[in-house]
Structure 1
């Protein structure tokens, strides 16, 4: 198999109580969060807040006081010179977006009406590069020395890094999961951010940040894989092993092309659908659920999705060298509790 080139897309979507809207944007772009108002009334107090802990005020319209204010120096200055507030409708525009601006936004109207927005920032890195998963904490708390921050990977929720403030320990468990993270993890003991270096296809998947055993942020790193016609590629399921009662399906666009049913002890490839383009080209690993496609042509380009018995599934976008007009965007969501 020739060397594969891949891009990882880090996409975040929070599922919240109340009304929530999900928005996806690329780094460097701008986005406008709509207030839903046609005009601001004479006695309105409108506040835009950001975060998941305390919801810091970043912009405010107080019609009674005749003030329109953006607080762009809060939260380590991440919003400096990036906020524009529409004094007619109350909508908020964020410009030149980075990953630090992904997360939950809350619109509060007159201290009681609330609308939640979730901003997703798409980040791409090339194989061998690095990516940093941001917990969106400005710092790890020192006041009570009670923070326990854990980074976990995979549907089996394996701990790969931990900050334990009571024990004054900062640990990366990079030898777990067949050593795929060995010498690749860097943990920031000030912010709790986790950097993964020298990324390969094995590092794509589901990451979870757990704070003090109850507050979680779930990330998906998903990927775009590019291969040359005639090559082979293995699409990882994200599992280290298939469990005894698992049923795992691989979908290509809207068609099931492979299935493992452990309970029935069956491993099946449906290589005659659609239109026989996968005939004699599919190999399914019954231990991990990964799917290998051999002798690839441009007909095999598109979106693949492994569906497993857990709460999440991911998308893999396969592009084949020589294919025209390939979309480079795929959407994976995360939930924040």
Structure 2
């Protein structure tokens, strides 16, 4: 992996030495990204062409007439392209994995210079997406971190209900102890000298804080709510400060099988604890990480004795005391 990355940067460096400027751009499906031309305003006898894969013109501004046009014939892409008439910057709306390719900017006329090539890589997202909005399902009490995918915080702005939000040093946004007031659209805007990016996360509250109550000897089912773990990078189950199970891209591991009573679903990451005991009661912390988000959830498990649930035992005791009191009357 390091050899491939080193080779890529050698290619970029060599390209830069011989004239072409290479700009690596990594985005997520559904983003709207603007490839920045770094031109303040096109003047008379100045124009530019945008190419894909160094061959087909998809957009241009004529150096003589100053007229702008989108030339791409593929309707699916053409309808998602916007060309700024003043600067020549190119915007791709609701970008898809099929849009991963080289976008070459060639200036013409008085400002003709070396080409600038944007190497756009579109990463898939492990969450539900509709019309470019990334949906994140949470439960009450969850904490979630929404990732930007960039390494710097400069030029990063998060807003929620028209209010600016504070993010961490990488620009990622963490929302803790989620309730009704924290659900809704979170808008991300990133502006750098190379690109502008727009992204929206929709945080959807789907239920109350999860609690599981069983009778001693019954099975405990701890659901992740995930249909396919392969879309995530890492999943951890933690109990009393110790990791008891883990799933990552390489496989899964169970660190505390509880004498074979604990099993994990290979596809969803959910846990099943059979023949439950009082020692199985407590808080189980679930951590799920992906390129778009990191989620933390606590599931409280109660295991009742004598075939009754907590509260019922106290009721039985009170009932016996009342019965004995009545006998003494």
TM range (shorter): 0.3 to 0.5
- Normalised by the length of structure 1, the TM-score is 0.37
Q: Which has the higher helix share?
A: 2
State the structure with bigger RCO (CA 8 A, min sep 6), 1 or 2. Answer: 1
- Normalised by the length of structure 2, the TM-score is 0.38
* Structure with bigger gyration radius: 2
